[in-house]
Amino acid sequence: MSADARSQLRAGRGRAGRALVLAACGGLLATGCATMPDSGDVQAVRGANPGDSQVRVYAVAPRENADPDEIVDGFLEAMTSDDPGFATARKYLTRQAAKSWKPEQSITVLATAPDRKGADRNADPENQGRAYPISGRKIATVDARHAYQPSSPVEYAQAIHVVQETAANGKDKEWRIDGLPSGLVLGEADFLRNYRSVNKYYFASGEDWLVADPVYIRQRQDPVTRMDPVTQTVKALLEGPTHWLRPAVDSPFPSGTELRKGVTTLTTDDQSTLKVPLNVKADRFGGEVCRRMAAQLLVTLGDLPSVRVDQVELQDDGGNGVCRLGKGQAAEFQAVRDSGQAETPYFVDDHGRLMALAPSGKDVVQPAEVPGPLGKGVVPLGSVAVARGGTRAAGVSEDGSALYVSSITTEQEQLPPVLKSAAAVPAATRDGLSQPSWDGRGDLWVADRAKGHQRLVIVPDGTGKWFEVRTPWLTEDTRVESLRVSADGVRIALLITRDGRTTLQIGRIERQDGADEQVVSVVDLQPAAPRMESVSSVSWAGPSRLVVVGREAGGVQQIRFLQTDGSTSASSVLSGLNGVSAVTAPYRDTEPLVAASRNDGIVRLMPGANWQPVVKSGTVPVYPG
């Protein structure tokens, strides 16, 4: 049992201590699993450790003649269980409330388990029942499309109303709940015990590569649909992208596509093939459409640790196979294809030169300057970005006034800058160009922070005529400190300063063909780290994960992983490094994180190891992107 669970067990709620039993297996199946005691009181247990994926909570029905305090506490506990259909939780409700309650419509996530106060008699002046205030600090909601939406912690205050209802025997009366908040209300620990994040994948609009769309599904069987995690994931994919991502992606699934009625379990055969029965006729999704659908499914299911799927077969409404696709074929639809080579990190040395670090290995190898003017320090650099192909790089001059692009594989003369800042004296005011970023299309992005002329700029292919991005949110009191564009070119991570506070926002990139050139907009900014008071560095760490450097209110600096939807877990914090000015992550987690520390220089973190010094001094480490 986790320390969190033990502490909450000791504290309890002090009211209804017999609502649930918690059972946990320390190993797989029957290895090391304790048996259930057959005597003694049933004890309430709260808030499992988020990492205890095998912890199970079982609901217990209300006892006969239970007082209203027990009814409310028992219901709050029962919401945290895996009980099919939430049947036991519904026993705490009146017959009408049990019919109308829809736990699947939303989840309210609180920092801790909801706090139930004593009954407020004034809330029911006619004395027909009792109203129990419940409160907490709301940190997120999950909608009916499974999308996680974080928020800065805010006060949550609702009430549960209890009345007396005639019992099933038609004579006695029992206390039952007739008024309650919509959906589920869970503490964060219980939410993370019951749900896990998975990436659905949809095609970038008009393109042939996939974009991750993170959602939350149940860790085990869904109580409402009775579907296992694989089937839940397929169902979520068929339902379409989340509302935020929808304007920037496409999906070839014909409208109305669902799993064939009654399907609640999907399993692979002895060849690791998953057959997915759909409710549509073969003539609606044959050929290339079927291949793209299968690719979406294969890449999506690759995010589930509980199943290995090497190929997918899509079946029509008659059970006939329409197409079959394997992992190798699906790889062509990935935003970043696996080249089979290790990703190379880079940094800027004390002389303003772009340096390359050796790919990961046990031994630390001295860095080498890259070929070309950026490696020679012809113009000392303040920040850099390396194109995803690893053949070119962009560098912003040390004073922030100009952006240069050149080869880093062959020698060449220094070319004129592709962009100059509109700031009069950028070095003195730090209002020049930000660190640049390459998207997966090969275009180069940078922010110009010149006062009165703030703008996001794209340089097509790093060499074309630059143009401004439409940014309706970029007002005079807004400053873009840093930007990082995702490999799929659909999302952008922005560090934005307003009112003296720097926050992490995720924007959606939308593209439209204009009369003379493409029109690109960054819209609908969403907070990705609302619980952090300030964020100083961010890097993409895969299709939908970020690594950030920041601090929570009253806390110390920390490095942690976040999903692009803002969700996280306690295990995502990386310790053992202080004074970090920048961090960068590879696209695949087999390579090390690299950071710049004021105390230790350039350091790296290999998977499963500790931070290791690489170079005594240096700044702005970057992986391609």
Please write the tens of the pLDDT for every residue from 149-159: 998 899 999 99
pLDDT at 520: 96
Half-sphere exposure of 476 (CA within 13 A, CB side): 1
- The domain spans of the chain are 3-143+153-192, 195-333, 346-417+431-622
542: left (phi over 0), alpha (psi -120 to 50) or beta: left
10 Å Cβ neighbour count for 137?
15
E runs forming strands in 311-353: 311-315, 321-326, 346-348
- Say whether pLDDT at 91 is over 90: yes
Name the amino acid, one letter, at 337: R
- Say whether pLDDT at 22 is over 50: no
Which range is least confidently modeled, 41-55, 205-219, 348-362, 538-552? Answer: 41-55
Which range is least confidently modeled, 22-31, 425-434, 473-482, 534-543? Answer: 22-31
Which range is least confidently modeled, 349-353, 371-375, 567-571, 619-623? Answer: 567-571
pLDDT at 618: 93
pLDDT at 341: 76
Q: What is the pLDDT of residues 589-599, one digit of tens each?
A: 888 999 999 98
pLDDT at 362: 61
Distance from CA of residue 266 to its chain's centroid? 25
The confidence band for 427, taking pLDDT boundaries of 50, 70 and 90, is: low
The confidence band for 575, taking pLDDT boundaries of 50, 70 and 90, is: confident
pLDDT at 578: 87
Which residues make beta-bridge pairs with 165? 174
Q: What is the pLDDT of residues 245-255, one digit of tens each?
A: 999 999 999 99
pLDDT at 310: 94
pLDDT at 102: 95
Distance CA 536, CA 207 (A): 33
Percentage of the chain with pLDDT > 70?
87
Identify whether the C-beta of residue 323 lies closer than 8 Å to the C-beta of residue 283: no
pLDDT at 314: 96
237 closest CA partner among 289, 294, 306: 294
pLDDT at 42: 37
Whole-structure pTM value: 0.88
Q: What is the pLDDT of residues 445-457, one digit of tens each?
A: 999 999 889 999 9
Distance CA 294, CA 276 (A): 9
pLDDT at 570: 58
Distance CA 219, CA 214 (A): 15
Q: How far is CA 348 from CA 399, 493, 599, in A?
A: 14, 22, 16
Structure tokens at 174: 């029992």
Q: Stretch 212-218: mean pLDDT, rounded?
A: 96
Which residues make beta-bridge pairs with 512? 519
pLDDT at 5: 43
pLDDT at 52: 42
Q: Stretch 228-233: mean pLDDT, rounded?
A: 96
Q: Stretch 28-36: mean pLDDT, rounded?
A: 34
**Three-state SS at 584:** strand
Angle at CA 62, nearest 5°, toward 39 and 79? 100
Structure tokens at 453: 């002329």
CATH architecture of 346-417+431-622: 6 Propeller (2.120)
Identify whether the C-beta of residue 406 lies closer than 8 Å to the C-beta of residue 416: no
pLDDT at 609: 86
Q: Stretch 500-513: mean pLDDT, rounded?
A: 93
pLDDT at 29: 33
Sheet order of strands, 558-563 included? 532-540, 545-552, 558-563, 573-574
Distance CA 291, CA 299 (A): 12
Measured over the CA atoms of residue 358, residue 374, residue 463 and residue 585, the dihedral's sign is positive
pLDDT at 36: 39
Distance CA 444, CA 450 (A): 19
| pLDDT mean across residues, the chain | 87
